[in-house]
């Protein structure tokens, strides 16, 4: 195909994909199958890889992300992002209406909309193209999250029809329920704590550095407000309908209301209807429709006088407390859980409520068999807000917090000033052991593929792993065939086990993890308060575990970001005989307990090989990759040629490099394969 032909086809494919994207994500009315869509997308990506300079910034292929933002730039809003004043009862809506009529000296028409529960975004469009997307921040300044926002399929990258030359549009980015659930299932599978609610999850996602991950999470956006100079609209309603015609996702649940009665009808309809929506709302918004009237009403310092939010009360229901059980987490913290007589609340059956800690139980004055009021706020797990003491059987006993660990029987402890009780038996208490193992194997730690939380539990139940060092003694034949069936939260039967492919993957991945650099390993050990960043700082200041073990309190707190709490925790960790034994076993297995200095020959497995590094990696930085290659006898080169032995390819490898490799027939090797290769020696 010539370049001219490619250009024509790329334009055609982009047009088709944009239209299908719009049909699917904005209109929810697809006209082709997912497979046919994928085929078109593949063709486009192939052509763009072949002719990189024909790949436009607003190509539909950009939806998969790829840009990595190290630090989000702070941007001043052209128009401040104000909030809405809230009301919680109909009286306040009447007062709002009376104020409006009094100021305007005439009746007003209103637009009622859903109040989407996500986070506000302001997007600038120029000449029909998405230019910049900024979060609300403090209302005056926000973060530039353009590359992440571009991955949200329903947000147009270029507009249709005739639109103003320059304008800003505001909307709410949110997590649809099904994407939220999928993201949480994936997190549980990889051993990370699930998100508590869709809104926080959406906020966290939008601030991720890796836009490819944002793309996978499948956020969505409703638009509700347009601003700009000399826009040709007389009313809010009209402006939203115009925005709809340019390709923006505008809810069809918008209504024009002529009087208070119609506003109340809208409020009541959606109070019932909201449980059926596939996303969260926390109320409705009422806006004066005409722009000239809005202008007369003006603003207070914080919010417009022409709009008000009506917030729905969190739904609540009464039910009976059956039992209180206690869960022990990775750190040993004990959380009480109320088991309830099942009851329907906000569209789901509630069987449990979180009680958080002992103080909450005391505060509620909770007694056995109490009738309790359960509320579902934004969180997934509902909470008990009060107890109907009048309905209590006078002979029922107070619920008193347990004194011993329900899992291992050890007496619980509580430090001064802390609300949680802890089981101090870290090394022999099953949920703590399993939690530590899950942390160790997680993607951000030792990245052991194929071994999620469920499989770790299975290995533990069979007595195969008890300690992270045991992972390195596992053999393929021990894994193969193990399985168990369990009932998930929804009562569905699920099976988990080890087949040939998974068992092989796990054993290879465990072997490969021996090459994972020291800072990661330090993080994986799960020292309390030592997250990824702190682990990296410690590894830099103490380039081997021996040096770190010998460090005194004063040496530790000299390191940037290491304070009292972390220093104490590090000292306590190395003071523990069990930890020292684990480290010694891991050392015998050949794990990397020191910063590998440059020019230390570890093997000659890469001798005579010239390797190009491209993309980003899970377990090492590009610099670390270079050192690893050199220490194993290889040479690193920055450009691909016929002499390149292979490309060490991470995520987001550039399309031009891919194209060149393909042309010259140079092989790509992924991170896991590379680690496995250098461990062979």
Q: Which distant-in-sequence residues (6+ apart) come within 8 Å of 38 by Cβ?
A: none
**Binder among 44, 285, 479, 516 for ligand IVH (CB under 6 A):** 285
Nearer to ligand IVH, 83 or 641 (CB): 83
Radius of gyration of the chain (CA): 29
Nearer to ligand IVH, 224 or 498 (CB): 224
Most distant CA pair in the chain: distance in Å? 88
Stretch that binds ligand IVH, among 82-90, 409-417, 483-491, 569-577 (CB under 6 A): 82-90
Supply the minimum distance, in Å, between the C-beta of residue 284 and ligand IVH: 8
> Which of 87, 143, 136 has the alpha carbon at shortest distance from 115?
87
Stretch that binds ligand IVH, among 77-85, 290-298, 574-582, 603-611 (CB under 6 A): 77-85
Nearer to ligand IVH, 99 or 499 (CB): 99
Supply the minimum distance, in Å, between the C-beta of residue 381 and ligand IVH: 24
Supply the minimum distance, in Å, between the C-beta of residue 355 and ligand IVH: 31
Per-residue DSSP letters for 565-616?
A: HHHHHHHHHHT-HHHHHHHHHHHHTT---B---TT-----TTTT-EEEEESB
Nearer to ligand IVH, 120 or 629 (CB): 120
**Binder among 83, 400, 533, 584 for ligand IVH (CB under 6 A):** 83
Kindly state whether residue 224 participates in binding ligand IVH, applying the rule CB under 6 A. yes
Nearer to ligand IVH, 287 or 330 (CB): 287
Supply the minimum distance, in Å, between the C-beta of residue 116 and ligand IVH: 4
Which residue's CB atom is positioned nearest to ligand IVH?
A: 120
Residues in contact with ligand IVH, shown as a per-residue x/- string from 566 to 605 under the rule CB under 6 A? ----------------------------------------
| Residue 115 among the catalytic residues | yes
**Region 611-670 residues binding ligand IVH, contact defined as CB under 6 A:** none
Per the residue annotation, which of 115, 383, 514, 658 is the catalytic one?
A: 115
Nearer to ligand IVH, 204 or 342 (CB): 204
CA atoms within 13 A on the CB side of 34: 1
264/255 Cα distance (integer angstroms): 12
* Burial class of residue 490, CB neighbours in 10 A (0-12, 13-18, 19+): exposed
DSSP 22: I
Supply the minimum distance, in Å, between the C-beta of residue 440 and ligand IVH: 40
Q: Which distant-in-sequence residues (6+ apart) come within 8 Å of 477 by Cβ?
A: none
Supply the minimum distance, in Å, between the C-beta of residue 136 and ligand IVH: 6
Residues in contact with ligand IVH, shown as a per-residue x/- string from 180 to 219 under the rule CB under 6 A? ----------------------------------------
Supply the minimum distance, in Å, between the C-beta of residue 243 and ligand IVH: 13
Nearer to ligand IVH, 82 or 322 (CB): 82
Separation in Å, CA 26 to CA 41, 61, 80, 131, 376: 18, 18, 28, 20, 29
Kindly state whether residue 277 participates in binding ligand IVH, applying the rule CB under 6 A. no
Nearer to ligand IVH, 247 or 304 (CB): 304
Q: What does residue 514 show for φ and ψ, rounded to 5 degrees?
A: -65, -20
Going edge to edge, which strands form the sheet with 610-614? Answer: 635-637, 610-614, 646-649, 667-669
Supply the minimum distance, in Å, between the C-beta of residue 113 and ligand IVH: 4
Separation in Å, CA 673 to CA 103, 498, 509, 513: 71, 21, 9, 11
Supply the minimum distance, in Å, between the C-beta of residue 634 and ligand IVH: 52
Kindly state whether residue 162 participates in binding ligand IVH, applying the rule CB under 6 A. no
Supply the minimum distance, in Å, between the C-beta of residue 126 and ligand IVH: 22
User: Contact, 298 vs 291, CB < 8 A?
Assistant: no
Nearer to ligand IVH, 60 or 304 (CB): 304
DSSP 367: B
Kindly state whether residue 225 participates in binding ligand IVH, applying the rule CB under 6 A. yes
Supply the minimum distance, in Å, between the C-beta of residue 151 and ligand IVH: 20
In degrees, to the nearest 5, what angle opens at C-alpha 6 toward C-alphas 48 and 1?
Answer: 110
Stretch that binds ligand IVH, among 76-84, 173-181, 402-410, 517-525 (CB under 6 A): 76-84
Nearer to ligand IVH, 83 or 98 (CB): 83
Q: What does residue 195 show for φ and ψ, rounded to 5 degrees?
A: -70, 145
Supply the minimum distance, in Å, between the C-beta of residue 527 and ligand IVH: 39
**Region 290-329 residues binding ligand IVH, contact defined as CB under 6 A:** 304, 309
Alpha helices, H only, 450-588: 453-461, 476-479, 500-512, 518-524, 532-541, 545-550, 553-557, 564-574, 577-588
> Which of 267, 361, 375, 368 has the alpha carbon at shortest distance from 317?
375
681/357 Cα distance (integer angstroms): 51
Stretch that binds ligand IVH, among 78-86, 318-326, 495-503, 515-523 (CB under 6 A): 78-86
Token representation of residue 365: 């004055």
Kindly state whether residue 221 participates in binding ligand IVH, applying the rule CB under 6 A. no
User: Contact, 405 vs 426, CB < 8 A?
Assistant: no
Residue 342 Cα to chain centre, angstroms: 30
**Binder among 13, 26, 47, 84 for ligand IVH (CB under 6 A):** 84
Stretch that binds ligand IVH, among 79-87, 329-337, 550-558, 618-626 (CB under 6 A): 79-87
Q: Tell me the β-bridge partners of 487.
A: 493
Which residue carries 């809010």 as its tokens? 236
Nearer to ligand IVH, 137 or 406 (CB): 137
Own/partner pairs for 132-136, CB < 8 Å, 24+ apart? 132/75, 134/75, 134/77, 135/206, 135/207, 136/81
Nearer to ligand IVH, 173 or 510 (CB): 173
Residues in contact with ligand IVH, shown as a per-residue x/- string from 228 to 267 under the rule CB under 6 A? ----------------------------------------
**Binder among 18, 143, 172, 453 for ligand IVH (CB under 6 A):** 172
Determine the size of the site formed for ligand IVH (CB under 6 A): 14
Q: What stretch of H or E contains 363?
A: helix 358-364
**Region 109-128 residues binding ligand IVH, contact defined as CB under 6 A:** 113, 115-116, 120
Q: Which distant-in-sequence residues (6+ apart) come within 8 Å of 406 by Cβ?
A: 325, 326, 328, 334
User: Contact, 499 vs 450, CB < 8 A?
Assistant: no
Q: What stretch of H or E contains 205?
A: helix 198-206
426/407 Cα distance (integer angstroms): 11
Kindly list the catalytic residues: 115
Residues that bind ligand IVH (CB under 6 A): 82-84, 113, 115-116, 120, 136, 172, 224-225, 285, 304, 309
């Amino acid at each position: 195909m010539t370049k001219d032909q490619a250009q024509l086809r790329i334009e055609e494919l982009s047009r088709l994909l944009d239209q299908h994207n719009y049909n699917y994500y904005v209109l929810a009315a697809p006209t082709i199958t997912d497979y046919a869509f994928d085929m078109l997308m593949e063709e486009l990506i192939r052509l763009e890889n072949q002719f990189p300079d024909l790949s436009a910034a607003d190509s539909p292929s950009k939806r998969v992300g790829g840009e990595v933002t190290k630090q989000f730039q702070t941007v001043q809003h052209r128009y401040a992002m104000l909030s809405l004043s809230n009301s919680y009862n109909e009286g306040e809506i009447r007062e709002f209406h009376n104020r409006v009529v009094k100021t305007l000296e005439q009746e007003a028409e209103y637009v009622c909309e859903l109040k989407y529960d996500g986070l506000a975004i302001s997007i600038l469009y120029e000449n029909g193209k998405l230019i910049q997307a900024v979060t609300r921040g403090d209302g005056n300044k926000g973060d530039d999250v353009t590359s992440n926002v571009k991955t949200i399929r329903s947000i147009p990258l270029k507009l249709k029809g005739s639109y103003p030359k320059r304008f800003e549009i505001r909307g709410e980015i949110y997590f649809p329920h099904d994407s939220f659930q999928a993201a949480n299932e994936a997190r549980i599978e990889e051993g990370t704590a699930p998100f508590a609610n869709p809104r926080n999850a959406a906020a966290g996602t939008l601030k991720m550095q890796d836009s490819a991950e944002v793309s996978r999470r499948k956020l969505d956006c409703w638009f509700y407000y347009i601003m700009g100079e000399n826009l040709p609209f007389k009313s809010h309603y009209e402006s939203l309908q115009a925005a709809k015609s340019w390709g923006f996702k505008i809810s069809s649940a918008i209504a024009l209301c002529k009087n208070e009665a119609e506003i109340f009808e809208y409020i009541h309809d959606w109070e019932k209807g909201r449980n059926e929506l596939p996303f969260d709302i926390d109320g409705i918004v009422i806006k004066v429709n005409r722009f000239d009237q809005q202008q007369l009403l003006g603003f207070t310092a914080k919010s417009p006088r022409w709009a008000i939010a009506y917030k729905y009360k969190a739904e609540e229901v009464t039910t009976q407390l059956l039992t209180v059980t206690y869960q022990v987490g990775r750190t040993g913290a004990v959380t009480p859980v109320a088991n309830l007589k099942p009851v329907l609340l906000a569209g789901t059956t509630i069987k449990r409520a979180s009680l958080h800690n002992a103080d909450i139980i005391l505060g509620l004055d909770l007694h056995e068999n109490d009738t309790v009021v359960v509320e579902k706020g934004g969180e997934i797990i509902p909470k008990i807000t009060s107890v109907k003491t009048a309905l209590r059987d006078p002979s029922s006993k107070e619920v008193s917090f347990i004194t011993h660990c329900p899992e291992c029987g050890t007496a619980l402890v509580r430090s001064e000033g802390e609300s949680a009780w802890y089981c101090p038996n870290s090394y022999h208490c099953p949920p703590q052991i399993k939690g530590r193992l899950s942390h160790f194997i997680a993607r951000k730690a030792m990245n052991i593929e194929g071994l999620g939380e469920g499989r770790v539990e299975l290995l533990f139940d069979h007595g195969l792993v008890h300690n992270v060092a045991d992972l390195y003694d596992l053999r393929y034949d021990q894994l193969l065939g193990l399985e168990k069936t369990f009932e998930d939260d929804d009562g569905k039967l699920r099976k988990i086990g080890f087949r040939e492919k998974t068992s092989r993957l796990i054993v290879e991945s465990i072997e490969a993890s021996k090459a994972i650099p020291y800072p990661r390993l330090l993080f994986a050990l799960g020292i309390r308060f030592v997250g990824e960043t702190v682990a990296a700082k410690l590894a830099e200041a103490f380039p081997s575990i021996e040096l770190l073990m010998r460090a005194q309190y004063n040496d530790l707190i000299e390191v940037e970001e290491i304070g009292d709490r972390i220093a104490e925790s590090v000292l306590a960790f190395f003071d523990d005989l069990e930890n020292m034994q684990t480290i010694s076993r891991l050392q015998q297995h050949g794990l990397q307990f020191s910063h590998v200095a440059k020019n230390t020959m570890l093997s000659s497995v890469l001798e005579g090989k010239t390797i190009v590094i491209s993309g980003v990696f899970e377990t090492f930085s590009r610099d670390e990759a270079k050192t690893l290659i050199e220490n194993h006898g290889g040479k690193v080169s920055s450009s691909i040629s016929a002499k390149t032995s292979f490309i060490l390819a991470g995520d987001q490898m550039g399309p031009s490099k891919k194209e060149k490799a393909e042309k010259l027939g140079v092989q790509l090797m992924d991170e896991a394969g590379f680690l496995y290769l250098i461990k062979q020696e």
